[in-house]
Amino acid sequence: MDPQNKVAVITGGASGIGLATAKLLSANGASVVLADVQADLGAGAVHEIEAAGGRSHFVETDVLKAADLQRLMDSTVETFGRVDIVHNNAGINERGDFLQAGADEWQQTLAIDLQAVIRATQIAVVQLRKQGNGGVVINTASMGGIIPMPTSPIYATSKAGVIQLCRSLGYLASEGIRVNAICPSFTDTPMVRAAGEAAIERMAQEVGGILKAEDIAAGVLKLVEDDSRAGAVMRVTVRNGHDFAFERRPR
């Protein structure tokens, strides 16, 4: 799919990977709708994109609320007439030690990183089916969904679930709807920075460096443009760049 004159929805779009993706898609001709709980950052992101000549819109959205996700989709269609690209990117990191953290802490990780992605994907597919012209959904997972993360087992579990969701929806390619996952390694985002410099240095040593948000955005663009990818899982790492853990393609 050529992003030119297409409409993209990006959750977690006010900063980090989401904002980098919005800027790149906008630079390639797409209108972008940013969704985030951070209204001030969202307004600033829209201003930045429009100042560069793009078309953008912000919808304050709590991905934990099904009504907010539906309102996001409805607002996108009302503003731009349709939706073609959905990047479900909003997420949080795991807090506390698994063996000591209370249930509320790990349940919130599952709710935002997995359940909200499932719900948002469902809403997106329903809209794309209604339009009848196909489209692409790209869900942000993580390398932690592919390899073990002893320090963040609930986060890893949620991201593994996102991967299996996308692989299991590969059959939608028969309708022109492609659902793919992108799995970044450690990336320089506000969420990762919150872990502190010592943790970041340790992460960098483990994986050979820290990615930039723009590296992930470039992967999202590739998944948008490559119509042969459905149910695919793209890895983004410092050592290997963009490659695929699973190569499934529609027949």
Catalytic residue of the set 155, 185, 192, 234? 155
3-state DSSP assignment of residue 5: coil
Angle at 107 between CA 101 and CA 113, to 5 degrees: 115
Q: What is the DSSP annotation of 127-178?
A: HHHHHTS-EEEEEE--GGGTS--TT-HHHHHHHHHHHHHHHHTGGGGGGTEE
Spatial separation of the C-alpha atoms in residues 154 and 152, rounded to whole Å: 6
* Residue 171 is a catalytic residue: no
Spatial separation of the C-alpha atoms in residues 72 and 87, rounded to whole Å: 13
| Cβ contact 1:200 at 8 Å | no
Residue 34: CA atoms inside 13 Å, Cβ hemisphere, count? 35
Q: Which are the catalytic amino acids? A: 155
